[in-house]
Amino acid sequence: MAELHGQVDDRFAPVAQALSAALDAVDVGASAAVYLDGEPVADLWGGYADAARTVAWDRDTIVNVFSTTKPMVALCALILADRGELDLDAPVARYWPEFAAAGKHDVLVRHLLGHTAGLQDWDTPVSVADLCDGPAVTARLAAQAPRWEPGAAGGYHSLTFGFLVGEVIARVSGRSVGTFFAEEVAGPLGADFHIGLAPEHDHRVAALIAAPGGDKPEGFAVGASDANTPQWRRAEIPAVNGHGNARSVAAVQSVLASGGVGGNGVRLLSPAGCERVLEEQFRGTDRVLQSPITWGLGYRLENRTCSWGGWGGSLVLNDLDRRLTVAYVMNQVLWEDDYLRGLSIVMAAYEALDA
């Protein structure tokens, strides 16, 4: 079994076994974390931060987690809503007047969070360079018409989600979503997660390793190699370019599963504010994913769990009833069955909890 580092309560030994098995099978480097009642019960890492397996993955290694960034952005919106500064039932144009163009005056903030706004892509193709120019691509979204009646259907807003919700956060708070997250969430919690990465952290970043099938599937705008560039790291691409490790992902997201209080005693949400994440926005076949899904406010819902994962394999899950948070991140990208590694960590956590 692959060697692991970190700490794990004896009860949660199955999580260590699952991570070790993933490293033996396909992973190069990875970390996993479990929080229960807002406190860490597993904080583990192992493997290597580079494809040549010459640099060990250590306690402070971080990596681009792609769409596991979205729950961080959603949490920021929920915090503003809980404070009474953001009305999720208000038209987006109340906060962002330019957004009313092209018939979008009735699009609500909750439509953005619930992937039902009909703005799942740009009307003309975008490049990685375009994505790194947040104001420009955000302005393009404000100018275009929705693809369907907002609120009437669900379609995963894979790249646009962060620019849309992030702009609302910026208009309400006066700060970019990356800055708001750093000052209001990561900073108070002491969480090593970043939306837009400063250069002094570059030496800690594990390079993403392309999947066996290549850098990116046909039709994808972004590949593993793009995420390894300084241009990508410096930008705020709030749907997909968050950098962190499993500990930081779980530390932030466990706020939802522990009634709004972080592990260090900092309250970010009221209990009622946490419950809002479970407000169902769409149930049915997602027009983009082409699979059944239930969307809440920024998360996939299943009963009283809210979760989401990133392309390539990272994942976070919150169980509000069991007060459980599970996170997994890695540097080996997979195209097919990428979620199975994270799912094995989740299943091991439940096995331990139910033993």
The catalytic residue positions are: 67
Length in residues, the chain: 355
Query: Distance between CA atoms of 243 and 232, rounded to whole angstroms?
Result: 11
Contact 176, 238 (CB under 8 A): no
Contact 20, 1 (CB under 8 A): yes
Contact 4, 18 (CB under 8 A): no
Element (H, E) at 73: helix 70-82
CB under 8 A, 24+ apart: contacts of 226-229: 226/128, 227/64, 227/66, 228/64
Structure tokens at 307: 């979760």
Element (H, E) at 275: helix 271-275
Q: Tell me the CA end-to-end span of the chain in Å, nearest whole number.
A: 23
Query: Distance between CA atoms of 113 and 203, rounded to whole angstroms?
Result: 34
Instruction: List C-alpha distances in Å: 247 to 63, 251, 313, 316, 352.
Output: 12, 6, 16, 11, 18
Instruction: List C-alpha distances in Å: 237 to 240, 267, 299.
Output: 6, 27, 18
Query: Distance between CA atoms of 350 and 341, rounded to whole angstroms?
Result: 15
Contact 314, 330 (CB under 8 A): yes
Bridge partners (DSSP) listed for residue 295: 282, 300
